[in-house]
């Protein structure tokens, strides 16, 4: 039984950083998905695939995994690269790329 500990990125629908910064412990699948021949649904007998535990900090998630004897790996979060863009730059006379509709 192994797990992955990560901090999820913000969704594409978010502009701010609210509801981010928490850590998730998610179990790795132990069985592959099966395709139902009649309906075409995907299914699995692995119930741990549905469990996602959330923690305030990375240390809490690691402590939980160690306490319960779960092998884990930590994925560090990637920092977003922010570009500062000025609205007035759209209308500069010396623009490199011409602005058209």
* pLDDT tens, per residue, the chain with 101 residues: 899 999 988 877 877 777 788 999 999 988 888 998 899 899 888 888 889 999 999 999 999 999 999 999 999 988 877 777 788 877 787 877 776 65
Q: Which domains does the chain have, with CATH numbers?
A: 1-9+19-29+48-76 (3.30.160.190)
What pLDDT is stored for residue 101 in this prediction?
58
Q: How far is CA 66 from the centre of its chain?
A: 22
Maximal CA-CA distance, the chain: 64
- Please state the separation of Cα 83 from the chain's center in Å: 22
For the whole prediction, is pTM greater than 0.85?
no
């Amino acid at each position: 039984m192994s797990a992955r500990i990560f901090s999820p990125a913000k969704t594409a629908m978010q502009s701010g950083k609210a509801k981010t910064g928490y850590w998730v412990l998610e179990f790795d699948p132990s069985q592959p998905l099966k395709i139902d021949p009649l309906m075409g649904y995907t299914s699995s007998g692995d119930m741990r695939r549905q469990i996602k535990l959330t923690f305030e900090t990375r240390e809490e998630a690691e402590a939980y995994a160690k306490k319960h004897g779960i092998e884990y790996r930590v994925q560090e979060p990637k920092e977003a690269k922010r570009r500062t863009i000025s609205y007035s730059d759209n209308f500069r006379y010396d623009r490199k790329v011409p602005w058209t509709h």
